[in-house]
Amino acid sequence: MIASGRRWRRIFVVVGGILAAYALLAPLTSLDAAQSANVPLLADRLWFRIATYIAMFIVMATAWNIIGGIAGYAAFGNVAFFGIGAYTTGMLVAKAKWPFLVSLPFAPLVSAAFAGLVGLPLLRLRGHYFAVASLGVGVAVGELVQNIDYGGQPLFGGASGLFLPIYSVGNRDLFFFYLMVAAAAIAIGITWWVLRSRFGYGLIAIRENEEAASVLGVNTTAYKVAAFALAAALTGLAGGIFCQWSVFINQDNAFPIEYNVQMILMALLGGTGTVFGPAAGAVLLQLLIQFLGGSLPISFEIPFVSTDARPIVAQVFLGVLLVVVVIFVPRGVIDFFGGRSRLSLSYLRRSLRETSL
Amino acid sequence: MATFVQLVVVGLLTGGVYVAVGVGFGLVWGVLNIVNLAHGALVVIGGYITWQLFTTMHLDPFLTLPVDAVALFVLGYALQRGLINRIIRAPLLFTFLLTFGVNLIVVNLLLLEFGSDFRSVTPAYSGQGLQLGSVVIPYVQLLSLGVAILLSALLAFILNRTRIGLAINAIAADRDAAQLVGIDLRHAYAVTFGLGAACAGVAGGLIPMIQAITPTAGEPYTLQAFVIVILGGLGRVSATVVGGLAFGLVEAFGQSIPGSGSVFANAIAFGLMVVVLVTRPQGLLGRLR
């Protein structure tokens, strides 16, 4: 059992490493220099786009994991920070005409400051109250950003959105891909550090028993707000990169409500409270979503479903997946690779019985 | 003064629907400790049943309400018995995610079946109203308020006077003790969720007469139900009634502020909720537990 667990872990690390190396190096073959040297093209632009999206979701799922997985506070409105990051950088670039790379650091700063501000009252709430209150913040911020007027003019571009000048760089797809991957690496690195620090142990103590943590001298309020702000900063960073990448932002693409649940499902699918779990979940789920939505360059037909209905069917499938994961694999798929358990019928039956009435 | 009276009337009338939306949600939350994110989707199912019966069989919408209630009770019972009972001992995030998954499934199946067109139910008397001085009271909204009060009274009766209602109360007080005295938890849980769903169905039957619905129209109702229950206080039907009416009033006055409008409805609702949670967490009528 232990030995087979270790073998699985080794296979997991090797396969993951090969995939990561391919993802990082394949884009280089699309450079003009590589083209002229007759290096075969290993990834086309569509794959870049999808890979950039995957990296973006790795950032968001990993960031959610800090507050939701490690500290155990079920934040349901993290998309607010994505949007705030996007609008911060977007406003600085479009209205103040700052260069993109100068305005990018303000995205995590403003998101974190906002998280600290709303976190102080919100994190006094527990359980359901915190979850729905944070969901409310997510909805309300998007609404405010779209509708706030100043002197009769929409302050943030209003319903027609915000256009950014196109960022001029040699190979844009490649640039934003590596930028997003760097953000993902930062997010994973920070999680790795958190889990090994006094800060992380404090957060885990809060998750397991907040009163006990407080009695043992953990400053619970400061820890929770710091975790919330850290998650917000990383999510905001992803938003800041996204706004320049997409060139156009509005309420629909900067505050998509469905991201809230997608990032949680990713963290859960991979395994909450772990370093690599959320990233693994993000890769799996994002590929699945793109596949079902028909955006992958693999053509296939789903019987009895017309092309128009495909995205809707994909959503139904996502719902079914959510239900199945929650009931049968509550500790995430990474559980099978860490050597702690093996995927078998009895595992599924056990996770069902543990939580059943 | 006249506008003030008008606003109070409008607020109380819209509050009627909010009461209907809130009571089922409050019951499920208070007794089962489940925040049902699919509540809005269940409301919308009720709306589509009423719309279907009204357009194909020309039934009066108010007569379709019992059909909504029965259909949603069955659906709710099956949902709780088949799915939610399976994770009732898991951390709270899991019930959240499970009900959200159900919400996704329901909303998108409705989209496949009915498309995203706006649907409304317009009986012959829908444009008419009662003229009281300068204030006009639409019949539909007045009847809806009556239905909502009646629904709440019926629910309170079931909870306090019937055998299964007492069992539900016992579970709310102490689940393990309830099991010890021989209450079938699985059945009682499913009945509780079914009753909550039935209330959602009745609320859904009322809504398309007042506001056109689409399959995605349910989400705001879930959030509003949450605010309403917090506003009134968890654990009693009467508190939810007060919460629903208060929410209607807040919304009516909030939208009358110049420069504001329906676009800030969610922001107002959640601002209100955060204020209540921070200053009076037990709600207007709640008792501290």
pLDDT > 50? residue A1: no
Chain A: residue whose CA lies nearest to B91? A355
Q: Which of A130, A272, A183, A323 is nearest to B100 (CA)?
A: A323
- The minimum CA-CA distance between B79 and chain A, rounded to whole Å, is 12
Model confidence at B130: pLDDT above 60: yes
Q: Tell me which residues of chain B, numbers 198 to 237, contact chain A at a CB-CB cutoff of 8 Å.
A: 219, 223, 226-227, 230
Of B112, B263, B274, the CB nearest to A143: B263
Q: Give Cα A270 to chain centroid, integer Å.
A: 12
Q: Which residue of A has its CA nearest to B275?
A: A121
B289 pLDDT tier (thresholds 50, 70, 90): very low
Interface check B2 vs A, CB under 8 A: no
How is chain B split among helix, strand and coil, in percent rounded to 5?
75, 5, 20
Q: What is the mean pLDDT of residues B40-45?
A: 96
Cβ distance of A131 and B101 shorter than 8 Å? no
CATH among 1.10.3470, 1.10.260, 3.60.15, 3.40.50 for A44-355: 1.10.3470
pLDDT surpassing 50 at residue B14: yes
Q: What is the DSSP annotation of A104-161?
A: TTHHHHHHHHHHHHHHHHHTTS-HHHHHHHHHHHHHHHHHHHHH-EETTEETT-GGG-
Q: Answer whether B5 touches A (CB < 8 Å).
A: no
Helix (H) or strand (E) holding A254: helix A251-254
Residue B240, pLDDT > 70, answer yes
pLDDT tens string A90-112: 999 988 888 999 999 999 999 99
Among A127, A139, A265, beta carbon nearest to B266: A139
- From A234-243, B243-252, B276-285, the region with the lowest mean pLDDT: B276-285
Q: Which carries the bigger pLDDT value, residue B184 or residue A23? A: B184
**CA–CA min distance B133, chain A (Å):** 36
| Percent of chain A topping pLDDT 90 | 31
Out of A47-56, A130-139, A168-177, A342-351, pick the least confident. Answer: A342-351
pLDDT over threshold 60, residue A259:
yes
Q: What is the ipTM of this complex?
A: 0.84
B289 versus B191: which is more confidently predicted?
B191
Is there a contact between B89 and A357 if contact means CB atoms under 8 Å apart?
yes
Q: What are the structural domain ranges in chain A?
A: 1-43, 44-355
For residue B288, is pLDDT > 60? no
Check A144 against B89: CB less than 8 A apart. no
In which element (H, E) is residue A249 found?
strand A248-249
**A249 φ, ψ (degrees, to nearest 5):** -130, 145
Which residue of chain B has the CA closest to A321?
Answer: B101
Output DSSP code: residue A167: P
Q: Is the pLDDT of residue A214 over 50?
A: yes
Instruction: Please report which confidence band the pLDDT of residue B1 belongs to, taking 50, 70 and 90 as the band edges.
Output: low
Instruction: State the pLDDT at residue A13.
Output: 75
- Check B270 against A140: CB less than 8 A apart: yes
pLDDT at B287: 59
The verdict on B78 touching A (C-beta cutoff 8 Å) is no
Distances (CA, A) of A78 to A259, B179, B275: 8, 39, 21
> Which residues of B are less than 8 Å from A129 in CB distance?
230, 277, 281
What average pLDDT does range A221-225 have in this prediction?
93
Tell me if chain A has a CB within 8 Å of the CB of B136: no
The reported pLDDT for the residue numbered A298 is: 62
Instruction: Tell me the per-residue pLDDT of A43-70, one tens digit each, with 9 for 90 and over.
Output: 677 778 888 999 999 999 999 999 999 9
Chain A: nearest CA to B38, how far in angstroms?
Answer: 11
Q: Is pLDDT at A72 greater than 50 in this prediction?
A: yes
CB contact under 8 A, A323 and B269: no
Q: Do A320 and B105 touch (CB under 8 A)?
A: yes
The pLDDT of residue B21? 94
Say what the alpha-carbon torsion angle A60, A62, A65, A66 is, to the nearest 10 degrees: -100
* Distance in angstroms (rounded) separating the CA atoms of residues A210 and A216: 10
Contacts A131 to B, Cβ<8 Å: 35, 92-93, 96
Statement: residue A299 has pLDDT above 60:
no
**Where do the structural domains in chain B lie, given as residue ranges?**
20-217
The answer on pLDDT for A276 being more than 80 is yes
Looking at residue B25, its pLDDT comes to 94
- Its pTM stands at 0.83
Asked if A121's CB is within 8 angstroms of B223's CB, the reply is: no
Share of residues in chain A with pLDDT > 70 (%): 85
Tell me the nearest-neighbour CA distance from B151 into chain A, angstroms: 26
Which among B35, B111, B185 has CB closest to A132?
Answer: B35
- Least confident segment among A106-120, A140-154, B31-45: A140-154
CA-based radius of gyration for chain A: 21
- Name the residue in chain B with its Cα closest to that of A142: B267
| pLDDT, mean of residues B198-216 | 93
pLDDT of A36 higher than 80: no
Q: How far is B270 from chain A (nearest CA, A)?
A: 6
Q: What is the pLDDT of residue A74?
A: 86
pLDDT at site A83 = 95
Binding-face residues of B in 25-64 toward A, CB within 8 A: 29, 33, 35
State CA A30 to chain mean position distance: 27
- Contact across the interface for B94 and A144, Cβ inside 8 Å: no
Which pLDDT score, from 0 to 100, does residue A230 have? 96
